[in-house]
Structure 1
Amino acid sequence: MSGIVPLTHKGALRLREELDRLKSVERPKVIEAIAEARGHGDLKENAEYHAAREQQGFIEGRIQELEYALSHCQVIEVGKLKAGSKVVFGATVELVDLDSDVVVTYTIVGDLESDIKQQLISVSSPIARAMIGKHEGDAITIQAPGGSREYEITAVRYLD
């Protein structure tokens, strides 16, 4: 990861909360699990110890990633953007699939805060790149694994 990391205000808050939880809850819990596993004897054949050490590695890696991102981020106040109907970072965009008339809504966010289950898509994703710079009423084509899909942008909102 290098350079400036764009984040929405909500995304930055969620990452700070995750960092605080990792440092104050998860890290002490795994340190306690390691100490308990050490008490069981031989570390060479101690699966609990090795699992706890592996978990500690994941936690420490995520802490480093979050600390880096938060120290190198540019928090973008989406509610203050005055982009009108133009799609830019932070926009919540409603799309209609021109083949099936299915309506989908996505919010364009930074890479670290993307979560497709919550309709938060990364600014670097193919669908977001296809939408950036377009306006309400424009049609876009997205290359999907099953072929190209045509969508129309029906609404662009900037929510905080």
Structure 2
Amino acid sequence: MKIMDYLSEDRIKIGLTEKTKSGILEEMAKLFLNGDIVDSENMDEFLKDLNEREKLSSTGLQDGIAIPHAKSPAVKKMALAMGTVKDGVEFDCMDGEVSKLFFMIAAPENTKGEHLDLLAEISKLSYDEDLLEKLENADKSLEIIKLLEKF
């Protein structure tokens, strides 16, 4: 499984503008309107499912990475979106630091373990500090794609 199997350039947003956890969830969720992943009339349901997942435990990991995710009937096919925030956003991370890299997984409700495999693959990024720094400082989505393709 590769991260790039689920991510496309139109679902990468450099410089997310929201500064709160709920704002980031909403801004990133809207990226799934690209590629026929979530329809606009189902966006509220997807957001509700994302927020419910966050109530279980924060998806803010460590090393500046957050991986918000949800299985939802609003999602047509599994996909990934990515966003960056230069100064970071408080996301209830394990290490108490802010998150600068956001990877959001949208999975259909009937998904078995595939979304967990993708979650594990994204988590491996934290082992490569040089890569994380390059991703945080990228100023074009194509640059992010090239970095992730090499990974």
TM-score, length-normalised on structure 2?
0.29
Structure with greater Cα Rg: 1
- TM-score, normalization by structure 1: 0.27
